[in-house]
Amino acid sequence: MDPHDALPPTLEAPARAALAWLNEGRGTRYRLTGLVDTEAALAAAPGEPLEFGLVLCEGDHCTREQVRVEPGDAGYTVSAGATAETARVPPLLDPPAGVRSAWLDEQLARYDFILLLFYRGRW
């Protein structure tokens, strides 16, 4: 997914600010792959704080992070948003489909058999 095509124009700059804040604060190199829980942020008036979820991937690890972004004169102030219990999308996500098949091939080359468990749509 190309985030530039998928991001609503009004949330692109706040989402990029939140991505930079997370990567700098945690020393990660997440890529922004999408947004979730954007209904309230899209309905907010200009200048109001925005809260939404980022879908981020780094290698084969994907996660959802809730953030609160407050517009200011010098850019955006970003902080942690709602906890995982109140968010609609779980914090840990399956890796992208291409990563999953590569992982399966790698495991099958190492072992005689593997056992996959599926739980509520997760593998």
* pLDDT digit string, tens, across residues 74-114: 899 999 887 645 555 555 666 556 656 677 788 888 888 88
C-alpha torsion 79→93→98→116, nearest 10: 160
Contacts of 93 (CB under 8 A, 6+ apart): 55, 62, 63, 64
Contacts of 19 (CB under 8 A, 6+ apart): 30, 32, 54, 56
Mean pLDDT, the chain, integer: 80
Of residues 91, 86, 47, the one with CA closest to residue 69: 47
- The CATH class, in words, for 3-95 is alpha beta
For the chain, give every domain's residue range.
3-95
pTM higher than 0.75, yes or no? no
61, β-bridge pairs: 58
